[in-house]
A and B are shown apart, each in its own frame.
Chain A
Amino acid sequence: MEQLSWTGALGPWLNPAIGAAVLAFGIAAIAHMFVALLTAGQRLQHAPGTAARHSPLAYRLTRGGLSLALGALVVVALAYLVGGILLPPDQKGIIGYLSTRFLPVWIALGLTFALSFAFRRRLGLYGHLFDNPVGMIGLGLVLFWVFTAVFAEMIVTFDPVRDVLPGMKNRAPGTPLANPAQGQFDHYLLGGDMLARDVFSRMVAGARVVLAIAPAATLFAFMVGIVLGLPAGYLGGRFDSILSFAANLVMAFPVILLFFLLVTPEIVEMGVPAYMAAVLFLFPIIFLVILWNARYRTHPMRRNILVGLTFLIGGWLYLGLAWDADPLGLISIPDGVLIVFVSVVFVNSPTVFRIVRGLTLDIRTRDYVAAAQTRGEGAWYIMLWEILPNARGPLLVDFCLRIGYTTILLGTLGFFGLGLPPDSPDWGSSINAGRGLLQVFPFPPLVPAVAIMSLVLGLNLLADGLREESLKD
C-alpha cells in the first residue's frame, strides 16, 4: 500500500485541464473588469437590464469569455467527482475515494433536485427557489450536509471516536494503514488527527452532531421569541416594556461569559441549566396549545382532540428532554448537550423576540387585523393566524441565517471546550483539538473549518435566495 495522491489516475489529464481553466478564468475576470470600467460611461446611458442589446462589442466579448471559463471550471470539477466514482479502486485518488463515499448523498441530492424541479410550480416559495441560482446553490450546500448527517453511518470509513489506530497520529491525507484488518478501509482519506483518529470520519460524524443541535435549538429559540414577541408587539404597554427591557439585558450580556457561567460545575450543580431547560422547553407546548385553541374555539371537539394530543406528545417529550424523566425511557439527552442546547436557545431568543415584536408592530395596523377585531376574534387568534402568517417571509430568512449563526456558535463553544464532551466529533471541538499543531499538520483543524464555512455559506445563500424570491411575489 502506498500513499494516495489527490487525483489518482485522473491527474495526468485533469490537472492540466483545471490549471488551464483557472488561468483562463483569471485572465477573463481581469480583462472583463477593465473593459467594464472603460465602457461604463457608454453602458450607463441605457438601463442595465437591457445592457445586452446595447453594450459595446468588447464588453460582450469579455463577458462571454468569463462565463465560458467559469463553465469550463465547473465541468472539470464535475469530471473529478464523476471520474472518481467510475475509476476502479486501485486507480482512485483521494478525491475519487471521497466522491465514492458520498455516493448516497449524491443520489439523494440528485433525486431531491429532480423532483423539486419537476414540481416547482406547485411548491410555493420552496419551488420559487429553483428560479434563483443563488438560492439553488445555497440549498444544494445545505442539503449536502443534511444528507451527510442522515447517511453518516454509510459514509464514514472508521468509527470517529473509538478507532484509534497505531501509527496513524498526525498523518497526511491519503496515508495507508500499516496493516489493515480484513474488511477494514485501508486509508485515512483526510489524514489522522493528534489522537490517530480518522479526520474524514470525524468530519462526517460531526455533521450529525451539528445538524442535530443547530436547527432544533433555532426552532426552540423561535418558539420562545414568537410566543413572547407577538403579545409584546400586539398588546404593547407595560408587558412590552418589561419584556423588551429583559431582552435588552440578555443581549447586552457577553455571550461567551454567559456560556462559561452556565457550564461552571457549581452552577450546573445548582440546577440552573435544568431549570432553564424546564422553562424554555415549555414554550413549544404553550405555542401549539394556544394555536389550536385560537383556531378551533368554534369547534370544541376538534380543539379538545388537538390540545389533548399536544399535551400527550408534548408532555412526553418535555419530561424526557427537560427532566430526563421519560416514563418510557426512550428519550433523554446527555447533560452536556442539554447545557449547550439551553444556552444557545437562551442567547438566540431575545433577538428573535425583537424581530417578531417589530414585525407585529407593523402588521397590527393593517385593516385585516382591524377586521378580525371587529369580528370579535380573540387576541391570540389575531396574533397567531392573522399576524404570524404574514410575518413569515422575514422570519423564514432569519431562521436560515440563525441556523448558520448557531452553527458558528456551536463551533465557538466546542472551540472553547464548553459543553460537549471532549471526544465529541463536532466541528468546533475538532478545530480546537487541532489548533495547537496547525502549522505543522494543517489538515485536522482545516477540514472541519471548511465544513463549517460551507454549511454557513449555504445557509446564507439560501436565506438570500428565499428573501429575493419572497419579495417577487
Chain B
Amino acid sequence: MRKTDADGPILEIDSLSISFFTRAREIPAVMDFSLTVQPGEAVGLVGESGCGKSTVALGVMQDLGTNGRIVGGTIRFKGRDLAQLGREELRDLRGCEIAMIYQEPMASLNPAMKIGRQLMEVPMIHGGLSAKQARAMALRMLEDVRLPDPRRILNAYPHQLSGGQQQRIVIAMALMSKPSLLILDEPTTALDVTVEAGIVDLVRDLGRKYGTSMLFISHNLGLVMGVCDRVCVMYSGEAVERGSIKDVFDDMRHPYTQALFRSIPRPGADKIRHPLVAIPGNFPLPHDRPGGCNFGPRCSYFEAGRCDAQNLHMAPVPGKDRHETRCVRFREIDWNQPLQAPDRAARAQVGEVVLEMEGLRKYYEVTPNTLFGSGGKRVVKANETLSFDVREAETLAIVGESGCGKSTFAKVLMGLETATDGKITLDGREIQDKPIHKRGRALVADVQMVFQNPFDTLNPSMSVGTQIMRALEVFGIGRSDAERRARMLEMLDLVKLPRDFANRRPRQLSGGQKQRVGIARAFAGGARIVVADEPVSALDVSVQAAVADLLMDLQRERKTTLLFISHDLSIVRYLSDRVMVMYLGHVVEIGATEQVFAPPYHPYTEALLSAVPIADTHLQKTRIVLEGDIPSAMDPPPGCPFQTRCRWKDRVPGRLCERVLPPDIPLGEGHRIKCHLSADVLAEMEPVIKPAAT
C-alpha cells in the first residue's frame, strides 16, 4: 500500500473517551484524553497500572476487544479519522503505518516460525516485495537492531534467542515497514536492567534514524526521560499533565506528578535525610471515581468545594510551550516549597554479626533421564564461594541480574536446598547442611522470607487471617486459637491494615495490601533474618515507597536483619546499609552503600549503575551498554566470570582475565571487589552519575 503523506501532526487524539461494557455496568477506562504526536517526536505516556495508558494504545490501534468501545472524541492519524476507516483500510494501516511493540517478546513472536520468515512477512504483505528482496531487507534490519550474526538469527526459532534478542527482533519487525508511528507498550518491563538499557538506546537511535514518531508507554519515569521529548502523565483514566520533559520533570504543575516524583527513589534520596513520601490512599476503582478531580481524595492540596465541585479540564500553564495541567489550584500552589519531611527515628544501631557465610557453594546436577538415571550429568554452578557476614539490624542488598544466583543463595539460606560446600553460621550454629525439616521450630521462625509477586504470595483459597494464623500455629506461638487470633489481629495492626481484612480473601486486596499481609506472615514468628526477594518491584511506584518504609520500620523496631534482593539500584541505594553485587554466582563487589555507589567500581557494578534509568534532569550519566548476554551458568567462561562483557578487560596485561579467576581485592573498610585491574586503573574511574553541566 502507498503511504499517505501529510503535513501536520502524525497522531491527534482529541477528547477521547473509551469505555468497557460488562453485564453489570459501563466502566469508563479513558476519559477526555487528548494528545498530539508531531512527526519525529517521541511522546511518553506515564502512569500507574490501571490508569488507562494501554487502553489508549489499543484505541489508536482500533483493537479494543469484544466489550470495549470508543464513546467519545476522535483519533486522527495523519488527518484521517480512524473511526471512519473500513476494516480493509485499518488492516493496511496496522503493521504498516502504525506498529506496536508489546511487553512480552516471546508472546509477540510465533514460536513455530523461523525469525526470517516472520520478518519477511511484513514487507511481503504490506509492500508486495518478492521473497528475495524481503530477505535482504530483513538482514539489513537485523543489523540495524545490532544483533550479532544476523544470518544465523534469520534461521533461528524464537526460543533459541534470549529475551533481549527477542525484543530486538520484535522491534525489527515493527520497523520493517518503516511505520510513521511506533507504539511501545512497556517494551522493557520483562527484561533485565542492562538489557533494558540496550533496548532503550536502540529505540531512541532508530527513532532518530528513521524519523519515526513514537508513543512510549511506561510506568518508569526514568525510561521516559531517556527516550522521549514530551510526556503525558495519566491518572485514573485522565491525562493530568502534559508538556515537555523538562517542564514536567522540573516545573510540574499537578499535585499527582509532584507526588509521583516524591515517591520514587532518586540518587539524592536517602532513607534518613530525604525519605520517600508514599501517596496516601488507594487508586480509585474505575466505576467508583470521586466527583471533580480524580486525585482529590489523595491530594495534599485538596480544597473541598473547589476540587470536587465540577469536572476539570486541561488548562495551559502560562509562559510555557504546550504545557497543560488538570488542576484548578495550580496557580496558587507554591510548587517550590520544600517537602516537610516526616519525623523519623534515627537509623537503627547495627549490632553483632548474626549470619556468616564462608566459601558457600551450591552446584546442581542436571540428569536428563529420571526413570533410568542414565545419561551424562551436567553441573550448574549456581553459587561460587560466597563469603560475607551480616550484622543485626543491618540491611544488606543483594544485587544482580536474573541468573546471577541470588535466588539460589536465598534457597540455601532458607534450608530449601543444602549447600554443596562451605559454611553458613547463624548465631554460631552451622546450618548449611540442615534442610528445613531438620531445623527446629525456632530456627525456621528466625529465618523468613518476603516474596516478589504480590498476586502469588498468598494462597487464593484461604482468608488472610487464616494464613497468618497458620504461620503462628506452625511457629508455636499462642496456646489457644483465641490467643492466636488476637495475635493475628495485632500483626494486621503492625502492617497497617484494617482488622476486618482478616476475613477477606486475597483477591479482594490490592497488590500493596497483599504484600503487607506477606510481610505480616514473615514477621509472625518474630523473624530475626528476613530475606526480601524483590518485595516492591512488582508494585506501582506510589505504593512501593509505602511498602519499603513498612519494611524499614519493622526492621528498626525489631532489630531484624534484612537481606534485600533486588535489581533496582535506586531503591537499593535508598534503603540499604551495605550492598553485595553478584554476577554468575560470584560476589564481584561488596561494601557499604556509599562505597559501592562511588568509584572505584567493579566494571560490572559500573555497567549496572549506568543502566539504571534516572528520572532527574539535573543528573547525567555515562552510558555503558553491555554487549551480549549473561553466559549460561552451565557453561561459565574461564577466568573472570565477567570477562566476556567487560569494557576494561584490555587494561589488564597478559589476558589474565581469560585465564585466572580474580582474587578479592580489599579496598579498605570492608569494601572489596573481585577484579584484576590494578589500583591505578581503578583510580582512573569516574563517577557514572554526575550533576548535569548547565
- Spell out A's residues near B (CB within 8 Å): 41, 44-50, 236-238, 240-242, 245, 298-299, 366-368, 370-371, 373-378, 386, 389-390, 392, 473
Contacts and interface: CB of A to CB of B under 8 A. Distances in A.
A385 to B, nearest CB: 8
A367 B21 contact: no
Contacts of B474: 298, 375-377
Given A47-B65, A367-B457, A374 B414 contact: yes
Contacts of A374: 414-416, 436, 444, 447-449
Contacts of A389: 459, 461-462
Interface stretch (B66-74, B599-607, B615-623): B66-74
Contact of A368 (B414, B436, B447, B459): B459
B64 interface: yes
B456 A366 contact: yes
B434 to A, nearest CB: 11
A413 B456 CA distance: 45
A3 B476 CA distance: 78
Nearest to A131: B23
B400 interface: no
B65 A376 contact: no
Nearest to A295: B470
Contacts of B458: 368
B671 to A, nearest CB: 31
Contacts of B25: none
B512 to A, nearest CB: 16
Tell me which of A49, A236, A376, A392 has the highest count of chain B C-beta atoms within 10 A of its own C-beta.
A376
Given A47-B65, A299-B473, A374-B448, 19 more contacts: A45-B86, A45-B87, A49-B69, A237-B370, A298-B474, A367-B451, A367-B452, A367-B457, A368-B457, A371-B449, A371-B457, A373-B414, A373-B436, A375-B475, A376-B436, A376-B439, A377-B474, A389-B461, A390-B460
B521 interface: yes
Nearest to A387: B459
A64 to B, nearest CB: 20
Contacts of A48: 66
B504 interface: no
Contacts of A371: 449, 451, 457, 518, 521
B507 interface: yes
A360 to B, nearest CB: 14
B92 to A, nearest CB: 15
30 contacts: A41-B87, A46-B69, A47-B66, A47-B67, A47-B69, A49-B21, A236-B370, A238-B370, A238-B371, A240-B370, A241-B370, A242-B371, A245-B371, A298-B474, A298-B476, A367-B453, A367-B456, A371-B457, A371-B521, A373-B416, A373-B436, A374-B414, A374-B416, A374-B448, A374-B449, A375-B448, A378-B437, A389-B459, A390-B460, A392-B461
B441 interface: yes
B457 to A, nearest CB: 4
Interface string B412-440: 00111000000000000000000011010
B529 to A, nearest CB: 12
A96 B370 CA distance: 65
Contacts of A45: 86-87
Given A45-B86, A47-B69, A389-B461, A376 B448 contact: no
A204 to B, nearest CB: 39
Nearest to A51: B66
B203 interface: no
B471 interface: yes
Q: Majority SS of interface residues in chain A?
A: helix
Interface string B351-372: 0000000000000000000110
B451 A370 contact: yes
A298 B68 CA distance: 51
Contacts of A392: 461
Nearest to B507: A473
Interface in B48-91: 64-69, 86-87
Shortest 7 CB-CB contacts between residues of A and residues of B = A389-B461, A241-B371, A49-B67, A367-B451, A376-B444, A367-B456, A368-B459
Contacts of A238: 370-371, 373
Given A47-B69, A298-B473, A389-B461, A370 B371 contact: no
A371 B518 CA distance: 9
Contacts of B68: 47
A41 to B, nearest CB: 8
Nearest to A53: B69
A370 B449 contact: yes
Contacts of A47: 64-69
Contacts of B416: 370, 373-374
A345 to B, nearest CB: 26
Interface string B459-473: 111100000001101
A44 B90 CA distance: 13
B124 to A, nearest CB: 25
Contacts of B518: 371
Nearest to B506: A368
A388 to B, nearest CB: 9
A392 B473 CA distance: 25
A238 B415 CA distance: 23
A373 B435 CA distance: 11
Contacts of A386: 459
Contacts of B21: 49-50
A54 to B, nearest CB: 9
Contacts of A473: 507
Contacts of B507: 473
Interface string B264-284: 000000000000000000000
Nearest to A386: B459
A49 B370 contact: no
Interface in B250-297: none
A375 B415 CA distance: 10
Nearest to B438: A376
A44 B67 contact: no
Contact of A44 (B87, B415, B448): B87
Contacts of A240: 370
Contacts of A41: 87
Contacts of A368: 456-459
Nearest to B22: A49
A389 B457 CA distance: 15
Nearest to A245: B371
B478 to A, nearest CB: 10
Contacts of A236: 370
Tell me which of B86, B415, B449, B459 has the highest count of chain A C-beta atoms within 10 A of its own C-beta.
B459
Contacts of B370: 236-238, 240-241
A377 B427 CA distance: 24
A240 B371 CA distance: 9
A41 B451 CA distance: 50
Nearest to B450: A371
A49 B459 contact: no
A367 B534 CA distance: 12
A230 to B, nearest CB: 15
Contacts of B476: 298
A52 to B, nearest CB: 10
A238 B475 CA distance: 32
Given A47-B65, A241-B371, A376 B437 contact: yes
Contacts of A44: 87
B618 to A, nearest CB: 38
Nearest to B474: A375
A239 B451 CA distance: 30
B86 A50 contact: no
Contacts of A366: 456
A104 to B, nearest CB: 36
A373 to B, nearest CB: 6
Contacts of A245: 371
A375 B459 contact: no
B408 to A, nearest CB: 13
Nearest to B525: A375
A464 B328 CA distance: 52
A381 to B, nearest CB: 9
